[in-house]
């Protein structure tokens, strides 16, 4: 029996996968990639950039040499730096591990849709990035639960093979899980991509890294390494924040910090939603980690308490799309609110299929619930191209061996342009004002 059981399980999983997508055979997990440090102690490593308020970018990197200054030189011509900025540095310890010097430098103001060349700390190679556009069209690449396996590398290569403006990651970055050198390896793995386009991330459960009594609060490495524009968006925590790009307002929420109606995150979200001008940002996107809607067997119901706390205010604000990770598969729902199809609710997309070491979540409910439009346990990434103030194209691209195959797509209409939804929204606001 000990010999037959694994073969039976493999057969069963293969059968389920075939029923979900008969034309495609599920890939096996692939091994971990560990990227060693191969530059000098003074040279920058793990370089990544993120948006940091209007017309500004934050450049982050690590050096082994503690004497390197937190300075970024930058300009529009290779090798010619007309400007420079000085920032801050930090480091942290986790048991016997000591991080390098972590530098964060905010540069700008920068022109939109412009290539900039930059150097970190006065040493090492020159990097370059392109700033996002100031208006439509704008394209987001989206993938969650990346990790650092050969499938991760495949996902990133497919993302980089086609142009985009920003990368959105709904949690679970390195899968270090307290093994701190894996944070360094992850930073080196993603550097070729994260140093050229802004990476905007939110935390997942694998970023928590608590340890009783010694490290009770968690997110020590995540907060030190991946500084996001929380201060620029009025948030007191790096675990939730928002930003604008082109005509879209993006809200990054924290699934693993307090979110009930008395919490700081909830109160911040209320204020942030109240400041949105849909004439300037007609699209509103939201990222979480634990999905609120999920027909996969994995992680069933883990986002339910957050959904009950926050779904209503996002619905009333007419959020267009909610992206989630956590479940290692792809699933797209129709517009939904309170577990029912609703033309004025957001489209929910689970995209926790970036390539993590834990493998795919193979089992879905059968039959599929009526609100689930497409689902598949495969590694891949998504692309949201917002064409104008009213229409956007969403596509999901499955990882094949040598290319990314588009396996799902849909055109979306912004809720800000929907007359029926705007009428309902006015009625809801009036009712709330009376209360």
Q: Which residues are catalytic?
A: 299
Rounded Cα distance between 138 and 171, Å, is: 22
- Phi, psi angles (nearest 5°) of residue 269: -60, -45
CB neighbour burial string for 194-228, b if at least 16 within 10 angstroms, e if fewer: bbbbbbbbbbbbbbbbeeeeeeeebbbbbbbbbbb
Classify burial at 27, counting beta carbons within 10 Å of its beta carbon; exposed 0-12, middle 13-18, buried 19 or more: middle
Cα(63)–Cα(101) distance, integer angstroms: 5
């Amino acid at each position: 029996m000990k010999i037959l059981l694994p073969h039976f399980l493999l057969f069963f999983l293969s059968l389920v996968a075939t029923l979900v997508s008969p034309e495609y055979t599920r890939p096996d997990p692939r091994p971990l990639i560990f990227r060693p440090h191969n530059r000098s102690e003074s040279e920058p490593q793990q370089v990544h950039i993120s948006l940091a308020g209007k017309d500004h970018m934050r450049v982050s990197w690590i050096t082994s040499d503690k004497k390197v200054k937190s300075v970024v030189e930058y300009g529009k011509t290779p090798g010619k730096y007309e400007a420079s900025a000085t920032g801050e540095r930090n480091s942290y310890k986790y048991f016997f591990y000591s991080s390098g010097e972590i530098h964060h430098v905010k540069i700008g103001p920068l022109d939109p849709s412009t290539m900039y060349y930059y150097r970190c700390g006065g040493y090492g190679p020159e990097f370059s990035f392109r700033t996002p556009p100031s208006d439509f069209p704008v394209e987001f690449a989206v993938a969650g639960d990346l990790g650092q396996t050969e499938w991760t590398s495949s996902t990133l290569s497919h993302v980089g093979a086609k142009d985009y403006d920003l990368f959105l990651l709904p949690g679970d970055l390195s899968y270090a899980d307290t093994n701190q050198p894996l944070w360094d390896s992850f930073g080196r793995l993603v550097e070729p991509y994260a140093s050229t386009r802004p990476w905007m991330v939110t935390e997942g459960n694998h970023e928590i890294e608590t340890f009783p009594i010694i490290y009770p609060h968690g997110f020590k490495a995540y907060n030190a390494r991946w500084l996001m524009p929380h201060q620029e968006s009025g948030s007191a925590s790096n675990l939730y924040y928002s930003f604008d790009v082109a005509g879209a307002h993006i809200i990054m929420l924290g699934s693993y910090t307090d979110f009930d109606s008395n919490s700081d995150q909830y109160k911040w979200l209320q204020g942030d939603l109240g400041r949105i001008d849909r004439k300037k940002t007609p699209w509103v996107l939201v990222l979480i980690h634990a999905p609120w809607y999920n027909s996969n067997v994995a992680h069933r119901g883990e986002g339910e308490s957050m959904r009950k706390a926050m779904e209503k205010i996002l619905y009333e604000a007419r959020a267009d799309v909610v992206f989630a990770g956590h479940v290692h598969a792809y699933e797209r729902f129709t517009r939904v609110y309170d577990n029912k199809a609703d033309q004025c609710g957001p489209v929910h997309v689970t995209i926790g299929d970036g390539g993590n070491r834990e493998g795919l979540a193979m089992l879905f409910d059968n039959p599929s619930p009526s609100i689930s439009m497409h689902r598949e346990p495969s590694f891949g990434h998504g692309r949201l191209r917002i064409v104008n103030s009213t229409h956007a194209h969403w596509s999901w691209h499955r990882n094949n061996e040598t290319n990314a195959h588009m396996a799902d797509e849909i055109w979306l209409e912004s809720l800000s342009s929907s007359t029926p939804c705007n009428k309902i929204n006015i009625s809801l606001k009036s009712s709330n004002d009376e209360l």
